[in-house]
Amino acid sequence: MNPLTHAVAIIYILSAVGYVVYLVRQDSFWNRTGFYLLIAGCLLHTGTLGYASLLAGHLPVHTLRETLSMVSWAIAALYLVFQTRYHLKILGAFASPLAAIVMSISIQLPMKSVQAPVVFNSIWLYFHIITVFLGDAAFALAFGVGIFYLVQDQAIKTKTQGFFYRRLPSLEFIDTTGYACIVVGFTLLTMGLISGFAYAKTAWGHFWSGDPKEIWSGIAWLLYAALLHGRLSLGWRGRKAAIMAIIGFAVLMFTFFGVNFFLKGHHGEFTRW
Amino acid sequence: MADIVLIGLNHTTAPVELRECIAFTPEDTVVALDHLKQEPAIDEVLVYSTCNRVEILLVTGDIPAAVDVTKKFIAATHQIPLDRFENFLYRRENDDAVRHVFRVAASLDSMIVGEPQILGQIKSAYQTATQRKASALILNRLLHRAFFVAKKVRTETGIGDRAVSISYAAVELSKKIFDSLVKKKVLMIGAGEMAELAVEHLIRQKIGNLFIANRTFERGVSLAERFKGQAVRMEEIPQWLEQVDIIISSTGSSELVIHRDQVKAAMRARRYRPLFFIDIAVPRDIDPQINRLDNAYVYDVDDLQNTIKENLEDRKKEALKGERIVDEAVIRFRDWYDNLNVVPTIVDLRNKLQKIIENELRRTLPNLRQTPAADQESLQKMTGTMVNKIMHDPTRLLKMEGHHINKPVYLDLLRRLFNLDA
């Protein structure tokens, strides 16, 4: 497993390089290079994760190393699917390096954890994990898009055409893209929470256990729900939406990682290292 | 061999008063072409005259004579003494003339590099020249190459990309905010050349409704008719703020026309859809504080000018790329031009050899003892083969592609060595 996961990390890094060169030079050859490398890396990654699942009999998310690998996969996979519809050209320069960095950290971590968690297997669990990870990846993209929006907004407001001005599309385009990311993320997160509750019922007999992750996920879910509601009925678009996407992601990061590290609860078992 | 020479003046060498004096109207151009092409010193001629330059392109075997007769023609037909404009004229010959024509057509020599009008103007001048049969092989080729180079420069460099006029800059900025301007609503307050130009550009972008507000309602109505928009009253502007997306303001008012509070209220009502204010007026019409509101953007005249300045800098960089394209094209044209003389020279040499051999054969045959017809035929064939074989190597060398030899020099040498021009 090791050489292949290393290969995935290297391919992601090469893809990231391609996208970053495209960011600077705006030569579409580099964009294509980054894109095809990312596809190759993601396919290989899917293969290694699938194989690991078969071997272990469950999704490989039992150590921090495995979890981060899954996160990296989710970012790459979701970005690839997303950009078939939403062509924010330099988004790759955010998504690909992110996937590469997360994967690079993953392969440095130890393979076996101190204590393997005991898990009741169920289809709900698979569904829960995949939708949550993909949803988080979508929110990560929304975060990147939010930053792009603020950069371009700043350039236009202050009348200074910096490095990004001509590399980024119009504000409307960026805003629409960010909105799409949030919608996708929210849908997936909702599915993830519901399947999580369903799993809890089948595994432990009750929907809710007051686990910190459940609480904080609920908070994150409410926050994004508010964002969507605000956009639809109050017109929270443009600058406000971008800022909220960034804040939402910060909350999400705490939900995903912070809770595991700093608070107790059953999810902490999955990120031991 | 014919030379190419260009004489003229432009906005960098002569003031507008002088350029006016020697400008050519379309009618003047026809007269000039007809007259000049009949001059013995001139083989081909092209004239183009724009508000920034007047240039005459000649193909001639005698540069001094051609230039002289052209200058005298200008003096006579424009009724202006020769010494009044002579010193402002520049003169370019052969490769320099070719380079100049390419640069002008590609808008690299224009006052605003990258401007699109000059190409059309030259095309039109060329069309006139072909109609009057004033251009022939060399100028036809030169102009066609010029159009090709101009297109190449425009598509392969960014010299025409960014806005360098207020109205274009306004439209470009709109697109950076709104992505597509299709169906967007525009409000024009006041009137004025730049505002109207900007509105024209926006209409070309297929905007939706256009509203026109003017202190004098009748003026607003007539503008609305012209642009196929709707006239509205100044008092209604706050309500329209909720509806429109782009506002162009250009009134003579010394007071602000739109205030921050009005926009703040409107933003809430329009659910924070972006609002773009283009304030062309001096003193300003739009409260600059509006720029600090979320999703509202205000650009005044200075802001637009600064944008243009940056774009002009970019154009200069792109122009360097354009110059490289022109340089390459000049070399290619020179190749074509040099090769023009290869074939006639080879033909001339072959003819000379043929004549020599035939003469000698004719003189020798009677001196031989009875030569039967078959033998005479063999001798004829031999002379033909001899000519071919002698010509083979020189022909191959002269027709070779590339710059292995200096063709004009070789051709010239050949002509002299064999006295082909006797």
Task: Calculate the alpha carbon distances from B374 to B369, B377, B387 in Å.
Answer: 14, 5, 20
CA-wise closest residue to B162 among B129, B121, B115: B115
From chain A, the residues in CB contact with B295 under 8 A are: 237-239
**Mean pLDDT, range B268-273, rounded to an integer:** 90
Helix axes B95-105 and B117-131, enclosed angle (nearest 10): 120
A197–B contact, CB cutoff 8 A: no
DSSP state of B286: B
Q: Higher confidence at residue B134 or residue B194?
A: B134
- The CA distance from A12 to A7, in Å, is 9
- The CA distance from A142 to A95, in Å, is 10
From chain B, the residues in CB contact with A239 under 8 A are: 294-295
Which tokens go with B123? 């095309």
Residue A266 binned pLDDT confidence (cut-offs 50, 70, 90) = low
Rounded (5°) CA angle A26-A30-A35:
120
A240–B contact, CB cutoff 8 A: yes
**Mean pLDDT, range B243-270, rounded to an integer:** 92
Q: Is the CATH number of domain B166-308 3.40.50.720?
A: yes
Q: Is a pLDDT exceeding 90 seen at residue A207?
A: no
* Burial of B166 from C-beta contacts in 10 A (0-12 / 13-18 / 19+): buried
Residue B126 binned pLDDT confidence (cut-offs 50, 70, 90) = very high
For B336-378, what is each residue's pLDDT tens digit? 888 777 888 899 999 999 999 889 888 888 887 777 888 888 8
Cβ neighbors of A175 (< 8 A, separation 6 or more) are A149, A237, A238, A241, A242
- The CA distance from B147 to B145, in Å, is 5
**Mean pLDDT, range B162-169, rounded to an integer:** 82
- Which long-range contacts does A17-25 make (Cβ < 8 Å, 24+ apart)? A18/A96, A19/A90, A19/A92, A19/A93, A19/A96, A19/A97, A20/A93, A20/A97, A22/A89, A22/A90, A22/A92, A22/A93, A23/A90, A23/A93, A23/A167
For B399-413, what is each residue's pLDDT tens digit? 887 666 777 788 888
How far is it between the farthest Cα atoms of chain B?
121
A161–B contact, CB cutoff 8 A: yes
- For residue A157, give the nearest of B180, B268, B291 by CB distance: B291
The pLDDT value given to residue A199? 87
Which tokens go with B310? 């940056």
Q: What is the DSSP string of B317-379?
A: HHHHHHHHHHHHHHHHHHHHHHHTTHHHHHHHHHHHHHHHHHHHHHHHGGGSS---HHHHHHH
Four-point Cα dihedral B200, B202, B205, B207, nearest 10: -110
Half-sphere exposure of B101 (CA within 13 A, CB side): 33
- For residue A235, give the nearest of B180, B271, B297 by CB distance: B271
DSSP state of B10: E
Residue A117 binned pLDDT confidence (cut-offs 50, 70, 90) = low
**Mean pLDDT, range A178-189, rounded to an integer:** 95
Q: Is a pLDDT exceeding 90 seen at residue B123?
A: yes
- The CA distance from A111 to B4, in Å, is 79
Residue B49 binned pLDDT confidence (cut-offs 50, 70, 90) = very high
Show which residues on chain B lie within 8 Å of chain A, measured between beta carbons.
173, 175-180, 268, 270-274, 291, 294-295, 297, 299, 303, 306-307, 310
- CATH dotted code for B3-161: 3.30.460.30
CA-wise closest residue to B214 among B243, B180, B185, B257: B257
* Burial of B108 from C-beta contacts in 10 A (0-12 / 13-18 / 19+): buried
From chain A, the residues in CB contact with B303 under 8 A are: 159
Residue for token digits 């007259």? B35
Q: Is a pLDDT exceeding 80 seen at residue B1?
A: no
DSSP state of B157: S
Task: Calculate the alpha carbon distances from B350 to A13, B338, B362, B400, B418 in Å.
Answer: 68, 20, 18, 18, 11
- For residue A234, give the nearest of B180, B271, B306 by CB distance: B271
Instruction: Please state, as a whole number, how many other Cβ atoms lie within 10 Å of the Cβ of residue B90.
Output: 15
Q: Is a pLDDT exceeding 90 seen at residue A55?
A: no
Residue B243 binned pLDDT confidence (cut-offs 50, 70, 90) = very high
- The CA distance from A255 to A154, in Å, is 30
SS3 track for chain A: CHHHHHHHHHHHHHHHHHHHHHHHHCCHHHHHHHHHHHHHHHHHHHHHHHHHHHHHCCCCCCCHHHHHHHHHHHHHHHHHHHCCCCCCHHHHHHHHHHHHHHHHHHHHCCCCCCCCCCCCCCHHHHHHHHHHHHHHHHHHHHHHHHHHHHHHHHHHHCCCCCCCCCCCCCHHHHHHHHHHHHHHHHHHHHHHHHHHHHHHHHHHCCCCCCCHHHHHHHHHHHHHHHHHHHHHHHCCCCHHHHHHHHHHHHHHHHHHHHHHHHCCCHHHHHHCC
**Mean pLDDT, range B16-38, rounded to an integer:** 90
Instruction: Please state, as a whole number, how many other Cβ atoms lie within 10 Å of the Cβ of residue A2.
Output: 8
A238–B contact, CB cutoff 8 A: yes
Whether A235 sits inside 8 A of B179 (CB atoms) is no
Whether B178 sits inside 8 A of A172 (CB atoms) is yes
Q: Give me the percent of chain B exceeding a pLDDT of 70.
A: 99
The pLDDT value given to residue A13? 96
- Look up the ipTM and state it: 0.85
Are the C-beta atoms of A228 and A248 separated by less than 8 Å? no
**Mean pLDDT, range A40-47, rounded to an integer:** 95
From chain B, the residues in CB contact with A235 under 8 A are: 268, 270-273
Residue B118 binned pLDDT confidence (cut-offs 50, 70, 90) = very high
**Mean pLDDT, range B258-277, rounded to an integer:** 93
Helix axes A123-157 and A92-108, enclosed angle (nearest 10): 130
Half-sphere exposure of B102 (CA within 13 A, CB side): 27
pLDDT mean across residues, chain A: 88
Instruction: Please state, as a whole number, how many other Cβ atoms lie within 10 Å of the Cβ of residue A61.
Output: 24
Q: Give me the percent of chain B exceeding a pLDDT of 90.
A: 55
The pLDDT value given to residue A161? 85
CA-wise closest residue to B142 among B251, B240, B2, B35: B2
